[in-house]
Amino acid sequence: MRNFVTASGKAIGSIGQGTWYLGEHPQTFQEEASALRAGIEAGMNLLDTAEMYGDGAAEILVGAAIQGYQRDSLYLVSKVYPWNAGGKQLQKSCEDSLRRMHTDYLDLYLLHWRGSTPLSETVAGMERLRAQGKIRAWGVSNLDTEDMEELFRAGGQDCRTDQVLYHLGSRGIEVDLLPWLQEHGVPVMAYCPLAQAGRLRRGLIAHPAVQAIARGHSATPSQVLLAFLLARPGVIPIPRTGNRAHTLENAAAAEVRLTASELQALDQAFPAPQHKVPLDMQ
């Protein structure tokens, strides 16, 4: 498995930080920046963002939050819109992201989802950016198994991740995508690892199996959900929060080690599908 490592060669923390919906409101900007810094201090030095998030606002937030840190101690990830993922527009999008984040390079640059741009054109553009030193590596997001197979046929064997929605209540990738990625040494970056807010998240948090396991570890239900993903080889969850206390709670989940019987209990409570299902994106 191709581990994520910083420019200095240090492996990143086992949990990263997402930024979807962050940076969009001036009244919470400093609180959110403080939350990201708390995560960095706690070992969550991978920060994931995208040009889509708040039309660049999240990238601006990340740029502000990382000031004062050694750049090579961080692992910065951003994503390009599919309609910007080729030719001169890919170059411009990358340079705009670098400017907003006040950095000279991205550790990882992702195609946000598949669009009409041929994958071969995106691969060629990503490799040009890497040769220029603007990115150290590239990957994709929201690509299913057939897309990944096509990507590899298009010369994309250097893809360093597939970032997809994955949590205890959404296990569809376990049918074929996750095994394919593991076989080909491509790590999974799991977004929305605590599920999005609403009935689904409440159902996960309040489930008796999750609650019982949390009590057994003196942990929170959210930490159990993260620990479930951490038990999967080659999976790094990237929870999002603008709250410092929640950030530290997420970071502490790295210390929760679920037993085989606990994983079995979660599997029985929230079984993976037995057949292929469409890739979840929300």
The tens digit of pLDDT for each residue in 24-34 reads 999 999 999 99
The answer to whether residues 139 and 117 touch, using CB atoms and an 8 Å cutoff, is no
Q: How far apart are CA 74 and CA 186, in angstroms?
A: 20
pLDDT of residue 1: 62
Whether the CB-CB separation of 274 and 239 falls below 8 Å is answered with no
| 109: DSSP letter | E
Burial classification of residue 110, based on how many CB atoms lie within 10 Å of its CB (0-12 exposed, 13-18 middle, 19 or more buried): buried
Helices and strands in the chain, H and E counts:
11, 7
Using alpha carbons only, how large is the chain's radius of gyration in Å?
18
**C-alpha distances in angstroms, 145 versus 17, 174, 213?**
25, 11, 33
Question: Taking Cα atoms as reference points, which of 54, 172, 162 lies closest to residue 110?
Answer: 162
Given a cut of 90, whether residue 280 has pLDDT beyond it is no
Write 126-130 long-range contacts (CB < 8 A, 24+).
Answer: 126/90, 127/158, 128/91, 129/90, 129/91, 129/94
What predicted TM-score, i.e. pTM, was given to this entire model? 0.97
pLDDT at residue 39 is higher than 70: yes
Active-site choice (53, 75, 105, 166): 53
Using 50, 70 and 90 to split pLDDT, how confident is the model at 197?
Answer: confident
Higher pLDDT, 197 or 194: 194
User: Which residues sit opposite 141 in a β-bridge?
Assistant: 163
Distance between CA atoms of residues 115 and 146, nearest Å: 14
- Mean pLDDT of the chain, nearest integer: 96
Q: What angle do CA 161, 45, 206 make, to 5 degrees?
A: 80
Q: Cα–Cα distance between 117 and 140 in angstroms, integer?
A: 13
pLDDT value, residue 199: 86
pLDDT (average), residues 178-205? 93
- Tell me the CA distances in angstroms from 8 to 73, 74, 107, 238, 270, one per residue in order: 7, 9, 11, 21, 40
Place of tokens 């086992």: 14
> What confidence tens digit (pLDDT) does each residue in 80-139 have?
999 999 999 999 999 999 999 999 999 999 999 999 999 999 999 999 999 999 999 999
Q: Are 114 and 147 in contact (CB under 8 A)?
A: yes
Is-catalytic flag, 69?
A: no
Angle in degrees, CA 28, 29, 33, rounded to 5: 120
Superfamily (CATH H level) for 26-196+235-240: NADP-dependent oxidoreductase domain (3.20.20.100)
pLDDT over 70 percentage in the chain: 99
Residue 49 pLDDT: 98
Q: Could you tell me if 188 and 173 are in contact, meaning their C-beta atoms sit under 8 angstroms apart? A: yes
Position 83 scores a pLDDT of 98
CA distance 161 to 166: 14
The answer, yes or no, to whether residue 2 has pLDDT greater than 80, is no
The mean per-residue pLDDT over the stretch 175-189 comes to 97
- Determine the pLDDT at residue 35: 98
Residue 250 predicted with pLDDT over 70: yes
Closest CA to 59 of 14, 96, 105: 96
Q: Residue 258: is its pLDDT beyond 80? A: yes
Chain segment 201-243, per-residue pLDDT in tens: 999 999 999 999 999 999 999 999 999 999 999 999 999 999 9
* pLDDT at residue number 182: 96
Q: What is the pLDDT of residue 3?
A: 79
pLDDT digits (tens, 9 = 90+) for 122-167: 999 999 999 999 999 999 999 999 999 999 999 999 999 999 999 9
